[in-house]
A and B are shown apart, each in its own frame.
Chain A
Amino acid sequence: DIQMTQSPSSVSASVGDTVTITCRASQVIDNWLAWYQQKPGRAPNFLIYAASSLRSGVPSRFSGSGSGTDFTLTITNLQPEDFATYYCQQAHSFPITFGQGTRLEIK
């Protein structure tokens, strides 16, 4: 199985800040990576696919980058609705695997 490791596990930030979350795969996955946002008690919300492509309707303050084994999710100009947990997911091969999540909290 491909292991996905996110860092940090949690981060505190203020409205207006920029935050970067990293995700590392245990083997090369090219750009087969997705990012999801999840709020408490809710289903995951699909944000980014193919490492850097924004799903339609996702605000442009979200961006993704990376290829191979190292990926980042960057959120600029944090808004109150962005405080949530973020997961990366490798889409290279079955079994599909997720990172352990990064909790973004309000400072």
Chain B
Amino acid sequence: EAQVTQNPRYLITVTGKKLTVTCSQNMNHEYMSWYRQDPGLGLRQIYYSMNVEVTDKGDVPEGYKVSRKEKRNFPLILESPSPNQTSLYFCASSLDRMVDEQFFGPGTRLTVL
């Protein structure tokens, strides 16, 4: 089944404890991105990647890191999480350019205490 998977789905952590949210797609998509969803703000793009080893900042990159060492994986790293990073995170992928349909993962709900 074609899908985007994220792990974990739910995570509660404390300020400053490094964490990684994994994202994997099995559709051979070139383009992948991370979003955060906050009430009243819609989805805001954190980082995106046009291809392996090519990443770029979205609208809200501060406090986040990403890497794209393999085409299928695009992990989101929070080196020192803070409470303002409590949010619902979505990974998405598309065939190549952004005009293609984005396929979204199920989301990761992160709480930073």
Tell whether A pairs with B. Answer: no
